[in-house]
Chains A and B, each alone.
Chain A
């Protein structure tokens, strides 16, 4: 069985909804591709005194940045940009993300950011926080230690303290006095964003032909750099347009993509997977967006509420300690079940400790549950997709031939495909 040709998603359409959808995707793509952060600069120029705060993956509390009066700006690397200076700061066995971030910094592309937050995703990002303190002394830099302890109450106390530190550091830059009301307003707007993203994911899960992963991803990338209020408008429009402008369903396998929560795969890789016959029905791309499941509950101290939400509603991820000894083994089967997926693709950045150290535990859990798996590594600047096309195509075919997709069976008798190891 050969992979379907990638014509259906890209087919020209004439309806107003189609034009609307295309224009939103084009808007998002512009923001995704613009490494100069033009939209951030425009926002800053609109009012004197405005400031922006950058952050690295995976999770930072954007509500706090927003309440402090700053624009949160996700820094997710440089994609396929040419690295001239960044490579001089990193050995060959370190992942690609920090070298492109340093390149962005050294070439002045991030000089519109008055502050930078480096969450405790891994030791590379941790050490990058110290590098930033040296390379960019004019920037307020904070390393953000996520709460890791077992006891949620102690963790809430610790994390609330961290949130207060971040808030006071940022308000020292903006001079804004932030009261509870302002914090609640920011929490409310990000609750809206979370809800809308969940809705987009649910629509893609139920009708992946309606929301191609490429488009969803671009939309979320735009959400990393534009004001949340603007993003909400565009994302709602997209959702409406996509309802009126559906692609044709295809005979694809349904897969969960996991391991890509920090250094982002090239857009071409996401497209390749789908076009090779695998609908991505769940993923951990830009995971910070969905780190907290559901809304932050209103009431009491807003920072405590935000901390509680992280501790009690977070998704399982490699960057947070898993206190439940069965947690790692259950993670993939649960996600596969929730997404009604047929298989899982472990896609990790090369040299990514968090993704690659987790992988044996996750894969073991998946295989014990009889879930077909493949695994590969990528870098943000990977330019050749042939190998991935073949792997994903074979994976999709083997699921369809030997296991049967959910769509075909209504239920799945799972079995190992045996496809794919680490390249």
Chain B
């Protein structure tokens, strides 16, 4: 991910190299013969894909990268010109627009067409349409994996079995057909063991935010930390090495009692500890981050960093039960939790991380996240006694990032937290209402 304003940590540079190499391999795939599997971040089956020697490619990551690189506006316009509605998810339009504009990926290399679309239907309705749309273009095989939603708050045993069965009878045969390789469970177990190691390190990093000052920012910094594990590098030695390096770096900061690098410099003086719900805006990522860091606000926990797995609640990939563990993984991704479960998680974060406030960034694109967030806001306020803030933007459509408006709202919110700290304002007061719609 490009970042000019924030001083780069070692781990960031490492990640940059990993990504560049991965995209180079993707560009070379049509010549090297490596097979390419498109799939989504929530419910991604990276270890399984890689156990067949294939390369994963995640369209959401491309879309967000297009946002960060200032290209999404043109891509979205391209897709809308071709008949895609102004109302729908901009990730889809950024991806389709990119495809229509030559499919040049985030690192400037050409993206290969998919050999297989692995539609892991996890926590988002739009995924289904997205791959139906891509299939029109690529005319390649598509395999569907239905992950039942945790409507009752858990992944029911029969639902888990349903996923395992699909993995065994649909997904694995599809990967075998595309790659010409037989399923190798031993190989899969090895990769899953690597995943678990990286996951341990990631969780140690996330938990470090319980310390004051927090050595990490768990949202703006967090999206870098989750990059490798949510995309192509789970179950790889590079992934393990990255998370070891990251953990070391964070533990150093912990030992020194210092904060993370931010657009406002190193944030040691942390005036507000915030929990954030919802994805970030990518088109003005640094500007958005700076609105927090200028106020001395550090994000200590976020839900967005759990869309590709809720490891901090204990889940680890288990090499002892390869297909079952993948079912558990998919079922547990954040947007596959029902609303009461999401509220529990946020309440837990506010308490565990001793937060002063929590904010919702509601993005226009995403019904999966956004529908119901105003209820989440009220419930979390009610259960924690902490005032919530509510801002609106979009993921990759710059038309929906109104910097002045968001800054205003954030300033009022932090002002209210300050006054509250001085004992002047009670939760649920007018000041709270000021930053909620």
* Complex Cα spacing A323 to B144, Å: 8
B: interface residue count bin: 35 or more
Asked whether A98 is an interface residue with its Cβ less than 8 Å from the other chain, the reply is yes
* Contact in complex: B151, A357 (CB < 8 Å): no
Interface-side segment among B103-111, B130-138, B413-421, B423-431: B130-138
- A333-390: which residues lie under 8 A (CB-CB) from chain B? 348, 350-354, 356-361, 363-364, 377
Is A128 in contact with chain B by the CB < 8 A criterion?
Answer: yes
A353:B372 contact, CB within 8 angstroms = no
Q: Would B88 and A357 count as touching, CB distance under 8 A? A: yes
**Complex: chain B residue closest to A352, CB-CB:** B87
The reply on B2 being an interface residue by CB < 8 A is no
Chain B residues, Cβ within 8 Å of A129? 151, 338-339
Number of A-B contacts (CB under 8 A): 163
Also in contact, A143 and B362, with CB within 8 A (given A93-B87, A357-B88): no
Which residues of B lie under 8 Å from residue A124 when comparing CB positions?
Answer: 367, 371
Q: Is the CB–CB distance between A353 and B88 below 8 Å?
A: yes
Which of B37-45, B164-172, B207-215, B248-256 lies on the face that meets chain A?
Answer: B164-172
B-chain residues with CB within 8 Å of residue A81 when the two chains form the complex: none
* Bound CA span A249–B271, Å: 75
Query: Is A131 an interface residue when CB atoms closer than 8 A count as contact?
Result: yes
| Alpha-carbon separation in the docked complex, A127 to B341 (Å) | 11
Cα–Cα distance between A329 and B341 once the two chains are bound (Å): 39
Task: For B125, give its contact among A88, A123, A329 (CB under 8 Å).
Answer: A123
User: Of the 9-residue stretches A145-153, A188-196, A238-246, which lies at the interface with chain B?
Assistant: A145-153
Are A358 and B375 also in contact (CB < 8 A) when A93-B364, A134-B339, A147-B146 are? no
Closest to B375 in A: A131
A364 close to B136 (CB less than 8 A) = yes
Q: Given A89-B374, A89-B375, A145-B148, answer yes or no on A325-B125 (Cβ-Cβ < 8 Å).
A: no
Contact, CB under 8 Å: A422 / B85: yes
- B151/A91 in contact, CB under 8 A: no
Q: Is A178 an interface residue (CB 8 A)?
A: no
A129 to B373 alpha-carbon distance, docked (Å): 13
Q: Is the CB of A122 within 8 A of B125?
A: yes
Given A357-B92, A360-B82, also A94-B170 (CB < 8 A): no
Chain B residues, Cβ within 8 Å of A325: 135-136, 139, 142
* Closest B residue, CB atoms, query A325: B135
A151 and B144 alpha carbons, distance in the complex (Å): 10
Most buried by A among B88, B129, B136, B169: B129
Complex interface: chain A residues within 8 A of B402 (CB): none
Write out the residue numbers on chain B whose beta carbons fall within 8 Å of the beta carbon of A118.
151
Contacts of A127 in B (CB 8 A): 339, 367-368, 371-372
- Which among A131, A149, A359 is the interface contact of B85 at CB below 8 angstroms? A359
Residues of A near B367 (CB, < 8 A) are 94, 122-124, 127, 353
What separation, in Å, do the CA atoms of A123 and B87 have in the docked complex?
15
Q: Which residues of A contact B170 (CB under 8 A)?
A: 149-151, 154
B140 (CB) vs chain A CBs: closest residue: A325
Given contacts A93-B364, A127-B371, A131-B375, whether A328 and B87 have CB atoms under 8 Å apart is no
B86 contacts the other chain (CB 8 A): yes
- A131, B372: Cβ atoms under 8 Å? yes
What is the interface of chain A, defined by CB distance below 8 A to chain B?
Answer: 88-91, 93-94, 98, 118, 120, 122-124, 126-131, 133-135, 142-145, 147-151, 154, 157-158, 161, 318, 321-323, 325, 328-329, 348, 350-354, 356-361, 363-364, 377, 421-422
Contacts A150-B170, A158-B162 known; 8 new A-B pairs at CB < 8 A? A91-B392, A123-B367, A126-B151, A127-B368, A130-B372, A149-B166, A157-B162, A353-B126
